Amino acid sequence: MIRLHRLGHANEDFHLNPDLIASVEATPDTVVTLTTHTKLIVTERPEDVVAAIRAWRASILQVALPRGQRRRGDASLSLVRATTGTPAVFPQEENK
């Protein structure tokens, strides 16, 4: 959950599940539109809301994938041409 403040209630914070956020815009007040089409006007700038969402998602991934743990297949990603099935090799990959 991220902590936000409604416009006009700066001393009262509330917590919002970022997965419910559909968009964040400045009009000039910051309007957070939820997936339910509910609109919330908050005191935070759009950049601050986005930073809070990014930090929240990073914290979830940090817990889900501990440092040093790699998922299967991460080390050998390649682009495959649809018509020939030949892997595309990019110049920086040729030196590996």
Domain annotation covers residue 79: no
State pLDDT tens for residues 8-27: 998 999 999 999 999 999 99
Say if residue 28's pLDDT is above 80. Answer: yes
pLDDT on residue 96 = 47
Residue 31: partners with Cβ closer than 8 Å, 6 or more residues away? 24, 25, 39, 40, 41
The Cα 96–Cα 90 span in angstroms is 11
Question: What's the pLDDT score for residue 63?
Answer: 83
User: Is 95 inside a domain boundary?
Assistant: no
**pLDDT of the residue at 64:** 82
pLDDT tens figures, 35-94: 999 999 999 999 999 999 999 999 988 888 766 665 555 555 555 555 555 555 555 544
Q: What share of the chain is helix, strand, coil (3-state, %, to 5)?
A: 30, 30, 40
Q: How many domains does the chain have?
A: 1
CA atoms 15, 25, 28, 31: torsion sign: negative
Residue 26 lies in a domain: yes
Query: Could you list the residue range(s) of the whole structural domain that residue 16 is in?
Result: 2-67
Considering the domain boundaries, does residue 76 fall inside one?
A: no
Angle at CA of residue 6, ends 12 and 47, nearest 5°: 115
